[in-house]
Structures are given as C-alpha cells and as structure tokens.
Amino acid sequence: MKTFAVLAMVAGAILMSGQAYADQYGAPEPTTKVGEFALSAGHTYYDSKWKSSDFRNSINVSQSRIFIQGNYSPQKNWEGYIRGGAANFRSKDFYDDALGGLFGFTGFGNFNDNYQPYAAVGIKGLFYTDGIFGLGAFAQGTYQFAEYKSTVFFGQNNSLDFRFKNPWDITMGIAGQVKVMGITFYGGPLAYWTGARVEFEGIQAGTPSFLSTRPHENNHVGGFFGLKAPLYKRLSIMGEVQYKSDFSIGGSVVYSF
C-alpha cells in the first residue's frame, strides 16, 4: 500500500505540473524484467511548428497531453508498450499565420480547444550493454482521435470554421545510455514524420468557401536527452528534453511489477 501511495503522489504531482514533454521515448533499456509488466503515468507539454503550402507562415502548435502507459517485456533487453490519454490544442496567432495566406483575414488571435483522446504504440530495446553502457533503438507511432474546432465571426453574416483533424506522428531513433550511481542517463538522434488534415469552411457575403490542406511539422530530424532515477523499490521517475521543430520538456513516473 505504501508503494502505491507514493506512486499516486508522484503521478499527481506530474499531472498537475505546468510543464511536461512531447511523448516520452525513455531509455532503450526495458523498464521491467522478461515476462513482467510496468505501468506509468505522465503529463506532457508539446511545442511544434507546422507548415503547409497553403499557410502564409508556419503555425505554432502546443499540446498538453495526459497519459497512462503499459509496458511488457517479451524477451531480454526488449519491450513493447501501449499508451492512452487525452490532448488539448493551442495555436498562438493561428489566424494571422494561417488564415492571412488563405483568405486574407488577420487579427483574429489565438485558437484553443479542449482535451480529446489519443493513443500510441511503441517498441524499444538494447543491441548492446555491459551493465554500465548501452546502445539501443526505439520506434513509436501516435494517433489522435481528435477534431479540434473553432469558429470565427466577422463583419455581417460572415463566418469561418476551422478544423484540425487526426494529427499523427511516427518516430524512430537510436539511443545510448550510461548508468551513474543508479541513475540512467540516455539520449540520441531521431527521425520523425507527422501529418494532419486542416479544413477551413467559410461564408462571406453569402458565398460559401472551402479549403482542405495537409500540413506537417517543419523538420524531420531531431534529438532527445533524459534521465531515469529510482525513487522507492520498484518505483522510478523519468524526465526528458526533446528538440524537433521546437523544444519540449517534462516527465513521468513508472512502477515495475
């Protein structure tokens, strides 16, 4: 009971904190032993820049993501995981950056929408380890079951509906790790691909208009660095910094059964 009380308190602190990170990849070393499970909880904060040939400028996208993750190790030095949670959507100066190029409208400010569900699956493992140093790899896919919406009214009988639909990403990377006094430090390069559908539907002077475009993040390569530290018996905490099209930071708490 004490173990789960500590887990609940640490998870609560992370979930209520103001910062976290883009979806965590973690150290390449499995979080649990062969044939066993691990459970983690986290709160992520994800900053990114998206572009499309239909946008005037790149749009800034921020998401706060709350998740629970289950890990399982089918064989030595490798594990798979499933993650489920919810994410919101925020885009500062979205209407100026995107709509200025699409419809010639400016000055409408920011766009925000509430939490909607998302899921991720991944695999990671070690190719080599001597107990102190290790080298491995990971792959992860994320899909948001989301349709973020906003409506802008301007002038007389004029409106514009915005929808940011089903963003996804696929990420692969190589990670090295080193253990120092029980703390695992890890990091490495990564490559990623992203996508979504953005729709604009408007009425101006009684005339309907519609545009659909498929933006993606500005970059396709980046890097990450993090650490994993033991807290209490089978309980540990992880923190991670990433750079893709922008910086993201945060962490999670893990319990290995």
Model pTM score? 0.83
Given a cut of 90, whether residue 233 has pLDDT beyond it is no
Nearest Cα residue to 101 out of 148, 67, 43, 55: 55
CATH topology of domain 2-256: Lipocalin (2.40.128)
Per-residue model confidence (pLDDT) at position 150: 86
- The mean predicted confidence, pLDDT, of the chain is 85
State how far the Cα of 248 lies from the Cα of 195, in Å rounded to an integer. 19
Which run of H or of E encompasses 216? strand 216-217
- Residue 4 pLDDT class (50, 70, 90 cuts): very low
Burial 127-139 (b: 16+ CB within 10 A, else e): eeeeeeebebbbe
- Residue 162 pLDDT class (50, 70, 90 cuts): confident
Q: Domain ranges in the chain?
A: 2-256
Residues 131-141: pLDDT tens digits?
899 999 999 99
State how far the Cα of 109 lies from the Cα of 176, in Å rounded to an integer. 42
One-letter amino acid of 229: A
Half-sphere exposure of residue 92: CA atoms within 13 angstroms, side-chain side: 6
One-letter amino acid of 185: F
Take residue 179 and report the two structure tokens written for it: 């253990």
